[in-house]
A and B are shown apart, each in its own frame.
Chain A
Amino acid sequence: MSANWESGVAEVAGALLTVQDLSVGFLTEQGLVRAVEGVSFDLEPGQTLGVVGESGSGKSVTAKALMNLLPSYAQVGGTVNFDGRDVFAMAASREKHFWGVEMTMVFQDPMTSLNPVKKIGEQLAESLRVHLGRSRRDALVEAGDLLEQVGIPEPGKRLNQYPHELSGGLRQRVVIAMALACGPRLLIADEPTTALDVTVQKHILDLLDYLRRTRNMAMILITHDLGVVKGRADEVMVMYAGHTMEEAPTTTLFDEMRHPYTEALLETIPRIDTPSHTRLVPIPGRPPEVIDVLDGCPFAPRCRYSIARCLTDQPGLTSHGAGHLCACHAPVGTPSGTEARAANESAGTTAAGLDMDQFTRQVPVADLGQSGAEG
């Protein structure tokens, strides 16, 4: 990430993917639902970007915008450049050999991602035949190789099987193999492990990491779980209600987070070293529906740091160091932020009316060997 936002430089030398001011809206009966608003980021070859957010934060829609998978009633704005090529222009001109070749995607549910009435081998071979012009026999041989690369045992046998004959973890590996078939330079993984067992999750994530490194493939890893991106992503982008809240290299994000939302997200992750019977800290409230223009910061109603300004001025992204951006009026760890929080805590409420006492009520019960009945 070496963009210089203040000067608004559009394209950065060396970056594989440049997204600038991406916005996606859906026209519905109730009005325009702004699913993504003003999202920008860069991706270098071989890098992993983690995109984190709750459901409805716009992370999947962003991915779909990049992959030209949005329905016809979606309104898309901004620019996306892949290796110097204008992605939206390619979409308009129905470019045939870009998606699925240079840029591919893996989805959340492997069961429904595969065509139930077609054999695995056939589905795998399809990209090879359509995009790379392989013959049927060659394609099937290559498909077998791909299955081996993703760690599926007995690849030859699998080629003749149907999706419902495989377990969830194997199916997801097949889906990954399908995405890798044509040697893409960018792989987008949208919650690739959410539908899988916990033990399998780690294997899949490790596999993705391994593939990325051996193929020098860039990756966008979309998840709602901050824990997933730690140690696996080079940069992390936190999204909320369609907006980018914070963007930073991973270690910076975890060590020096600036956005209250990021901080709250981190606190929701149960940690192994907290004493037992510590109540988990959820983020109260729910994400808003973003219809029509929003006044102020979208996170304000649920934010512990919100001040009056948060309700009227939408914060823009400001720099907090090398490659570290944050959109907040009272960021964590800054004087204004600390002040705001202290003020809210003593007042018992925030500018947005959030009850601050619910946080202080959480007293970790020391591990005294009591059968602490927490209500």
Chain B
Amino acid sequence: MTYLMRRLAFMFAVLVAVTFLAFSATNVIGDPLFNVVGFYASVDCDAVIAGEIEDVIGTVAGTGIGECERVIEAREKYHLDDSLPVRYGHWIVGMAQGDFGESYANQMPVSSILAERLPKSILLMGVSMVVALGVSIPWGVAAAYRANQRFDRASTAGAFGLLSIPGFALAIILFYFFVVRWQIFPSRYMDDNIFSRLHSLVLPAASLGLPLAVVYQRLLRTDLITTLQEDFVIMAKAKGLSDRRIMFRHVLRPSMFGMITVVGLNMSALIGGTIIIESIFSIPGFGRELYVSAIRDDITVVLAGVTVLATAFVAINTAVDLLYSYLDPRVRRAG
């Protein structure tokens, strides 16, 4: 149990560090107040309200000091007068209750933005992962089984090729052939039902999943080849077990460690890739939203995004560690 506790504590510490960094950074960029109230931010509204200065800008909808009141309201709402750690504290408390604040751009609660857009991104990432694993595991096994013979050599060449194409370039190539020329897949995301959604996601998932599949396959292949040299494999053959049984029941499980580590570490790459892919294929997911928000300084959305992504990354890596101990009983005893 203490192992689990330690992992969770570590997770927590990392998340605090990441979110605090992001928070500090975003609050240094420009003036958050400016993002909400525009150039009124430069007005000394306290003085205006106190009547010391004329409201030079003018009024809105007939109210003399209306603008400044709006400014003051905003300042209070977003705690903009408080120091950084305090503001961070407020933000954390709100987040724990599910309140991520409101988007500066359109006043919509960020949590609803998340609710609407996050599922699509998750679906995309999930399908991509399925593609990646579904392609890489059989491929790795087939390549390792007849290592350095024709299939393996050919697939290594192919792997190199795929590895050398960046995800977005692959997406464009796929888009060109399958959407522009042959028109098999739609040019934008069709949200009608689960089938149209999956249909729209085929190319994006392939663009994300295939490069990953190549990386995973190479790792798996290497580890499989190493494990196949072990004495217990010879022993299993001496027992008269079929090659297939040996491969899938004896060799595969111990060989998956390297691959699983990278799956965990590659989450950042997957997430980063999602943002690009969503842009190319016009998928209204959270990645695109995050990117767009960052461009226009919509800090609350960016912060929410950072938190979600970092949490996902850390959670997955922790899960990977726990998976280790399940797969290898020797680790179980130690941990």
Q: Which residues of A contact B (CB under 8 A)?
A: 67-69, 96-101, 104-105, 107, 109, 112-118, 126-127, 130-131, 162, 164, 175, 178-179
Q: Contacts A96-B242, A126-B241, A130-B241 given; indicate if A117 touches B236 (C-beta within 8 A).
A: no
B240–A98 touching, CB < 8 Å: yes
Q: In the complex, what's the smallest C-beta–C-beta distance from A219 to chain B, in angstroms? A: 15
Q: Are A69 and B234 in contact (CB under 8 A)?
A: yes
Q: What 0/1 pattern do residues 233 to 256 of B give for CB contact below 8 A with A? A: 011111111100100001001100
Q: Given A69-B234, A164-B330: A115 and B240 within 8 A (CB)?
A: no
Bound-state CA distance A267–B317 (Å) is 62
Q: How far is the CA of A169 from the CA of B327 in the complex (A)?
A: 27
Number of A-B contacts (CB under 8 A): 67
Residues of A within 8 A of B241 (CB): 100, 126-127, 130
B235, B245, B328: the one within 8 Å of A114 (CB): B235
- On chain A, the residues within 8 Å of B328 by CB distance are 117
Query: Is B231 an interface residue when CB atoms closer than 8 A count as contact?
Result: yes
Residues of B within 8 A of A118 (CB): 250
Which residues of B are found within 8 Å of A104, using beta-carbon distances?
A: 238-239
- B residues within 8 A CB of A131? 240
Distance between A217 CB and nearest chain B CB, rounded to angstroms: 16
Q: Chain B residues with Cβ under 8 A from A98's Cβ?
A: 240
A101–B241 alpha-carbon span in the complex (Å): 10
- Residues of chain A within 8 A (CB-CB) of B245 are 130
Interface flag for B232 (CB, 8 Å):
yes
Cβ–Cβ contact B240 & A99, under 8 A: yes
| B327 adjacent to A117 (CB under 8 Å) | yes
| Contact of B238 (CB < 8 Å), options: A97, A99, A112 | A99
Is there an interface contact between B238 and A114, defined as CB atoms closer than 8 Å?
Answer: no
Cβ-defined contact, B234 with A115, below 8 A: no
Question: Of residues A68, A107, A115, which shows the largest number of chain B Cβ atoms within 10 Å of its Cβ?
Answer: A115
Q: Which residues of B contact A96 (CB under 8 A)?
A: 240, 242
A127 touches B237 (CB 8 A): no
In this complex, what residue of B is CB-closest to A181? B239
B51 at the interface (CB under 8 A from A): no
Distance between Cα atoms of A120 and B306 in the complex (Å): 47
Q: How far is the CA of A252 from the CA of B214 in the complex (A)?
A: 63
| Cβ contact within 8 Å between B239 and A127 | yes
Question: Given contacts A113-B232, A117-B327, A164-B330, are A67 and B238 in contact (CB under 8 A)?
Answer: yes
Residue of A98, A112, A131 most packed against chain B (CB within 10 A): A112
Do residues B231 and A107 form an inter-chain contact, with CB atoms below 8 A?
yes
Task: Tell me whether B329 is interfacial, beta carbon within 8 Å.
Answer: yes
Tell me if A117 and B239 are in contact (CB < 8 A). Answer: no
Q: Tell me if B230 counts as interface (CB < 8 A to partner A).
A: yes
Closest 9 CB pairs of A and B: A100-B240, A112-B231, A100-B239, A99-B240, A113-B235, A105-B238, A115-B232, A127-B239, A117-B254
Contact residues in A for B236 (Cβ distance below 8 Å): 115
B240–A97 touching, CB < 8 Å:
yes
- Cβ contacts A to B, 17 pairs, < 8 Å: A69-B234, A69-B237, A69-B238, A96-B240, A98-B240, A99-B237, A99-B239, A100-B240, A101-B240, A107-B231, A107-B235, A113-B231, A113-B232, A114-B235, A127-B241, A175-B235, A178-B235
